[in-house]
Structure 1
Amino acid sequence: MSPAVLVRPRPVHRGADLLAAYLPGSFYYTSAHGSLLADGVHACVEADGGDRARAAAAALAAAVRAGHDDPVVVGAIGFRQDGPASLVVPAVVRRACAPAGDGPTAPAAVPAWTVVPRPEPARYADAVRRALELIDGAELDKVVLGRCLDLLSGSPVAVPALLARLVRADPAAHAFAVDVSAPGDPAPRTLVGASPELLVSRRGTEVVANPLAGSAPRVADEARDRGRRAALLASAKDRAEHAHVAAEVARVLGRFCRELHVPAEPTVIGTPTMWHLSTRITGRIADPATSALALAEALHPTPAVCGVPVDRARDAIADLEPLDRGYFTGLVGWTDRHGDGEWVVTIRCAEVCDAAVRLFAGAGIVAGSDPDAELAETGAKFRTLLRALGARER
């Protein structure tokens, strides 16, 4: 008897159709590999002990036994281990190729936004200085500090239009929209964004991670923009920061992979607003029972969003950041019943609730960081969502 052939679902829709079909409450995710739109709830994934990969595997197995022909776990997990999570096995899943970036989309409206930074820029710069004191005292090698912008409009934000603008502005990004409503919310809450950073993917035996660390804002002038890209690639400070992150990601994946390839030198990738140092790490999984979500949980949080050493950096973040991160710098993605899936770092994101929007951005602080430059970097990272909203930081 010939061995069974594993057949996975193939896209049967157009990417543009799935994007157009998205409504708040659905789960939407797209990357270069394709799009996924999920609706309804077949089962919620609960993991009181924190092992969400194990809980997800159990939920998927139960869905198969119940006759679900294409069960997938989708959702988001917060930054902290004890933080929020929104993971479900949806009732209906539709797949498609990735939508193109040149399709028509309505321009961003320009409502009268009220914009409140949290903390104030001067206080964020002070927090960077305090972080540098910890680094100078050898308590930390790196810590990532985030800040927020709270935006309020006179009318509810149209999340589908916002998502469409994010997808078409940067087709190479991992765009997502996840319902993260919590008790007490005055209206449904949606986590929406376009992350440039792949935490990890698994397809069959192939594993890919693409950590980013070391960034520079882009500018409109082409010659100056090329200069910024070259300066980033040559920056000893940024390369040292990036090396921390790539080495840690490689170390963790090495526990699960029988083969691992780590490029000796980083490259530079670009988004419409930023240049980033990038290392694409590839490997072959040793145990097929290790799912994409299990790999993501093992990697999270990487030094790209937390720091080095992780525990001390996490404590410093709790002390220096005035607001809880919630889902910011967590992970968003999906895992199927075969263990395949894709999870990205939750950056270039916002939470939308009726007419209120909270944007997030952060910067990695290492020896040699300049508080004003780190403040400017977070401002540049806000532009992804600000442009899609038709707003600007004051």
Structure 2
Amino acid sequence: MPTFALSRPTDHVFAYGAGVRFNTIDAAAAVLHNRSHEYIVGALPFDLDSPAALTAPTRFVRRPVRWQPDSPPLPTTAIKGFDPQPDEHVRRVDAAIRVLSDPRAALVKVVLARTVILRASAAIAPVDLLTRLVAADQGSNGLLVDLSSAGPHYTGTHLIGSSPELLVRKSGSTVVCHPLAGSAPRASDPAADRTNGQMLAASAKDQREHAFVVDAMAAALAPLCSDLDVPTTPGLTQTPNMWHLGTRIVGTVREPATTALDLAVALHPTPAVCGTPTADAREFILANEGDRGFYAGAVGWCDSAGDGEWMVGIRCAELSADGLTIRASAGGGIVSDSDPQLELAETSAKLRTILSALGR
């Protein structure tokens, strides 16, 4: 079974084994720069002060074709709880809106998340859940990381998901980011679905929320990249369950030694999963949610030439070592004119990615 996988519309990567484990980003970055290992794969936590889950695999396979697997059956699951309960999430959003509405507050956006806890009737194999997610996604997006490198608490635990959001890709000197921020649910009726997308594109609130993300990412890339191309108007991106505003940012690295991992660390966490300003939003999240672990972190790979790809760790779940407990998380960006009930509904729509794969 792979210890790491990343499936994308144009290619897919599988890595096996753990020749060396790293729970700090600095240690993994160092072996890339001194080229003592050819590849690093794994996950960065939401809070970069927490342990990472990075490895130098014993085998790395990258195939330049789209992975289109069949969807295997999974054991049945039952919802066992929420963290927090839906009404508590609404209360947290309402409290955040009050803070954001205070003209004295530095905080202008914060992303709040909630978790659904499920129990399987029999052990779920990590690769089977990954395969279900990839088969259901129109872009074949999928990710899997063995989180054991992060320490005893994570031994045997896997992060599995189908993130649509590219944090950063580096190929040679070219850097590409595709942040998503501003969301609306898909609808089964085609006319209603088109309307949802059109309303999102016309939403001043969502355009403002998206601009926070793009501006912050452009500012983070500016010292590392030249010739940045940052479109002024976002486009629409669709997943099976959501519409998103998205902007494709392209640049050229200033220094050849800059790696995809370096870029991921410089960009993470973006306002799409944290808020604006970053430090204030992170403090608010840690005080109100606690430790997110690897939800809203980053998942990807990097080679010793500096090339690689990192996805934002959303539309994902942590699968326990025994394969029986699944913790699926989703969040939404809160600004001063957010509606708490609509924010709750947005997290429910985003959770459909995992819940649908589990037959819920």
- TM-score bin (small chain): over 0.9
Structure 1 62/184 Cα, relative in aligned 2: closer, same or farther at 3 Å?
closer
What SS does structure 1 have at the residue aligned with 2:66?
A: coil
Paired-residue identity, %: 43
2:124 aligns with 157
Compute the displacement of 1:95 (Å). Answer: 1.7
CA separation in 2, counterparts of 1:86 and 1:100? 24
Is the CA contact (8 Å cut-off) linking 1:129 and 1:371 kept in structure 2?
yes
Is the CA contact (8 Å cut-off) linking 1:331 and 1:345 kept in structure 2?
yes
Is the CA contact (8 Å cut-off) linking 1:199 and 1:344 kept in structure 2?
yes
Q: Which runs of 5+ in 1 are unaligned?
A: 1-22, 64-70
In the superposition, the TM-score normalised over structure 2's length comes to: 0.94
Whichever residue aligns with residue 130 of structure 1, its letter is A
Asked if 1:43 corresponds to 2:29, the answer is no
* Partner deviation per Cα, 1:349-393 (whole Å, 9 max, x = no partner): 0010120000010000002100000000000000000011112xx
Whichever residue aligns with residue 304 of structure 1, its letter is A
Task: Indicate the larger mover: 169-178 or 375-384.
Answer: 169-178
CA separation in 2, counterparts of 1:379 and 1:195? 16
Whichever residue aligns with residue 12 of structure 2, its letter is S
1:337 aligns with 304
2:8 aligns with 31
1:55 aligns with 30
CA separation in 1, counterparts of 2:211 and 2:31? 32
CA separation in 2, counterparts of 1:54 and 1:27? 18
Is the CA contact (8 Å cut-off) linking 1:84 and 1:327 kept in structure 2?
no
CA separation in 1, counterparts of 2:340 and 2:220? 31
Whichever residue aligns with residue 168 of structure 2, its letter is V
Is the CA contact (8 Å cut-off) linking 1:28 and 1:38 kept in structure 2?
yes
Is the CA contact (8 Å cut-off) linking 2:7 and 2:67 kept in structure 1?
no
1:195 aligns with 163
Instruction: Report matched runs for 1:123-272 at 5 Å.
Output: 123-138=88-103, 139=105, 140-172=107-139, 174-181=141-148, 184=152, 188-272=156-240
Whichever residue aligns with residue 255 of structure 2, its letter is D
Post-superposition, which runs of at least 4 consecutive aligned residues in structure 1 deviate over 4 A? 182-187
Compute the displacement of 1:81 (Å). Answer: 1.6
* Partner deviation per Cα, 1:168-220 (whole Å, 9 max, x = no partner): 11142541111013655597211100101100010001100011100001111
CA separation in 1, counterparts of 2:154 and 2:64? 35
Asked if 1:370 corresponds to 2:339, the answer is yes
CA separation in 1, counterparts of 2:112 and 2:29? 31
Is the CA contact (8 Å cut-off) linking 2:11 and 2:65 kept in structure 1?
yes
Structure 1 120/210 Cα, relative in aligned 2: closer, same or farther at 3 Å?
same
What SS does structure 2 have at the residue aligned with 1:51?
A: helix
Is the CA contact (8 Å cut-off) linking 2:186 and 2:241 kept in structure 1?
yes
Whichever residue aligns with residue 348 of structure 1, its letter is R
Compute the displacement of 1:51 (Å). Answer: 3.1
Asked if 1:121 corresponds to 2:91, the answer is no
The count of residues paired between Structure 1 and Structure 2 equals 355
Compute the displacement of 1:153 (Å). Answer: 1.9
Is the CA contact (8 Å cut-off) linking 1:213 and 1:245 kept in structure 2?
yes
1:328 aligns with 295
What SS does structure 2 have at the residue aligned with 1:288?
A: coil
2:54 aligns with 87
The match for 1:104 among 70, 74, 80 is 70
Is the CA contact (8 Å cut-off) linking 2:185 and 2:349 kept in structure 1?
yes
1:289 aligns with 257
What SS does structure 1 have at the residue aligned with 2:201?
A: helix
Q: Which runs of 5+ in 2 are unaligned?
A: none
The match for 2:248 among 254, 269, 280 is 280
1:384 aligns with 353
Whichever residue aligns with residue 244 of structure 1, its letter is F
In the superposition, the TM-score normalised over structure 1's length comes to: 0.86
CA separation in 2, counterparts of 1:287 and 1:183? 33
What SS does structure 1 have at the residue aligned with 2:36?
A: helix
1:67 aligns with none
> Superposition RMSD on alpha carbons, in Å?
1.7
CA separation in 1, counterparts of 2:343 and 2:228? 33
Task: Indicate the larger mover: 255-264 or 377-386.
Answer: 255-264
Is the CA contact (8 Å cut-off) linking 2:179 and 2:246 kept in structure 1?
yes
The match for 2:329 among 356, 360, 366 is 360
